[in-house]
Amino acid sequence: MLLHIGIDDTDSPNGMCTTYLGALLYRELSRFGEPVDLPRLIRLNPNIPYKTRGNGAVALTFDILDEYVDDVKNIVVEHVEKLAEVDHENTNPGVAFLEGEVPEILRKFSLKALREHVTIDEAEDVAKKSGAEIVKFKLGRGIIGALASIGYPLENYTYELLAYRRLENREKERKVNRDSVFDMDRRFYPFTYDNVDPFKKTILITPHGKDPVLVGIRGIDKGKVMLAYESVIIEEDVKMVQLFKTNQSTDDHLQWKKIKDIRLYDNVIVRGKVASKYWEKGRHVFFEIEDETGKMRVAAFEPTKKFRNYVRKLLPGDEVIVAGGVKEHEGVLTINLEKFYPVKLVPKREYRKPRCPRCGGTMKSKGDYLKCKRCGYKMPKVLIPVEKPRDLEKKIYEVPPDARKHLSRPLVLPGAEDKFLY
Ligand code: ATP
């Protein structure tokens, strides 16, 4: 029979990573049955506050003889008990098991967990209705991600290869040869992407926390992802390497919405008009967007760096499509920009004074009339409109790689414009 296993919320900032547990179990459980496909790394709503890092859950599916099912379930629960960071106050692991085909109700729940906020009660209800078994540790919030990862349709996907270090090295700096990562990027970009930040000259494949991940290489071609990994020089012991199929870089989280329907923690794509000139506070850049149903604040926060310059170029009246996650900032619902597309730009006009019609001299403003500095000629103040270039192209603008959400599709990948088709 088909046995689906979902796991979530096993880590804390002090260590562990749900993918590590998934990779261990993928090996261990392959002794009992045939894995159906690769393990799946499913990223869920990036805006919810309980996440440790990237709100990732892991699902595994095995074709297994009925007689082994109980053993397999026990092994999964034992692994979570043993390895999850349960002593950490915000770690609330959850495990889900589902036998047979995935019912529609679980698919729907999964997409809700991707795009909106859901409660533990909702997860328990959906488990009951879909015949899934759940195991909760402490609050057991992890059952949300565990169930959602099983139900995720994964029609669009990319790959991530994760190499893990020994747990005893977790306090140490990761020993990955920097030049070899730049060489790898030169050879394999864009089939593997977000390997380096070409402007800051930093490498992005190594995380910085105490988790067991040594490097993560993302790509759209699994062969190239594996070759890319082999070309990176790693100067410490690698405990395990696992390729995952994932919904990262798919834009699956974005949902078209009218402003009046937008709720806290949604992931939205909205078309409207810029309703205010931008303003800045604490290096964050803000403006307002409006459609026929309401008005909403939009932000390009400080970590989006140069992206903010493009936002500053928007003018009231411009028609734009904006995409991002909805969070509360200073008590106001705010779309945290991931990408935007200027659909139609209003002309940018500046007004200049005419030259003196009598002598060609420079005119000076005097209340509501102009006076020539050279000959003293006076005339009513009629200024000449001059059209200025807008300096914004008809293209999608995206935040830089290190500010990008896992789910956001980099523009370099095929189909990155698809979500913006209205
Ligand atoms: P890990 O590496 O362990 O996966 P993480 O950054 O993914 O770390 P978690 O520790 O898993 O974060 O915490 C996320 C928590 O939020 C989990 O308990 C998960 O079940 C829950 N969760 C996921 N999606 C939603 C959602 N849409 N609404 C409410 N809770 C959610």
Tens-digit pLDDT profile for residues 386-416: 999 999 999 999 999 889 999 999 999 999 9
By most ligand atoms within 8 Å of CB, the mutation choice from 41, 50, 138 for ligand 1 is: 50
Q: Is the CB of 15 under 6 A from ligand 1?
A: no
- Stretches where the chain sits below pLDDT 50 are none
Residue 409 sits at the vertex; the CA angle it makes with 393 and 336, to the nearest 5 degrees, is 75
**Which CATH number among 3.30.70.2200, 2.10.60.10, 3.40.50.12780, 3.40.50.620 corresponds to the domain 2-151?**
3.30.70.2200
| Contact yes or no for 163/214 (Cβ under 8 A) | yes
How far does the centroid of ligand 1 lie from the alpha carbon of residue 339, in Å?
24
Q: How far apart are CA 123 and CA 150, in angstroms?
A: 12
Q: What is the dihedral of CA 298, 300, 306, 310, to 10 degrees?
A: 0
> Class of 158-246 per CATH?
alpha beta
Residue 401 sits at the vertex; the CA angle it makes with 400 and 404, to the nearest 5 degrees, is 90
Helix axes 69-83, 18-29, angle to 10 degrees: 150
pLDDT of residue 211: 86
CATH of domain 271-343: 2.40.50.1010
What tokens does 122 get?
A: 């909702």
Q: Quick check: pTM over 0.85?
A: yes
Q: Is the CB of 45 under 6 A from ligand 1?
A: yes
pLDDT in tens, 99-128: 999 999 999 999 999 999 999 999 999 999
pLDDT of residue 170: 81
Q: Is the CB of 145 under 6 A from ligand 1?
A: yes
pLDDT of residue 289: 98
How far does the centroid of ligand 1 lie from the alpha carbon of residue 402, in Å?
21
The CB density around residue 204, as the number of other CB atoms within 10 Å, is 19
Q: Is the CB of 88 under 6 A from ligand 1?
A: no
Q: How far apart are CA 60 and CA 173, in angstroms?
A: 31
Q: Is the CB of 141 under 6 A from ligand 1?
A: yes
Q: Spell out the residues 6+ positions from residue 415 whose beta carbon is closer than 8 angstroms to its own.
A: 409
Q: Is the CB of 213 under 6 A from ligand 1?
A: no
CA 386 to chain CA centroid, nearest Å: 41
| Contact yes or no for 140/134 (Cβ under 8 A) | yes
How far does the centroid of ligand 1 lie from the alpha carbon of residue 102, in Å?
21
Q: Is the CB of 54 under 6 A from ligand 1?
A: yes
By most ligand atoms within 8 Å of CB, the mutation choice from 21, 55, 407 for ligand 1 is: 55
By most ligand atoms within 8 Å of CB, the mutation choice from 48, 58, 164, 247 for ligand 1 is: 48
181, containing H or E segment: helix 178-188
Nearest to 38 by CA among 12, 62, 3, 10: 62
pLDDT of residue 69: 96
Q: Spell out the residues 6+ positions from residue 362 whose beta carbon is closer than 8 angstroms to its own.
A: 353, 355, 356, 372, 373, 374
For residue 269, CA distances in Å to 20, 78, 156, 335 come to 33, 42, 18, 9
Domain boundaries, the chain: 2-151, 158-246, 271-343, 348-388
pLDDT of residue 422: 64
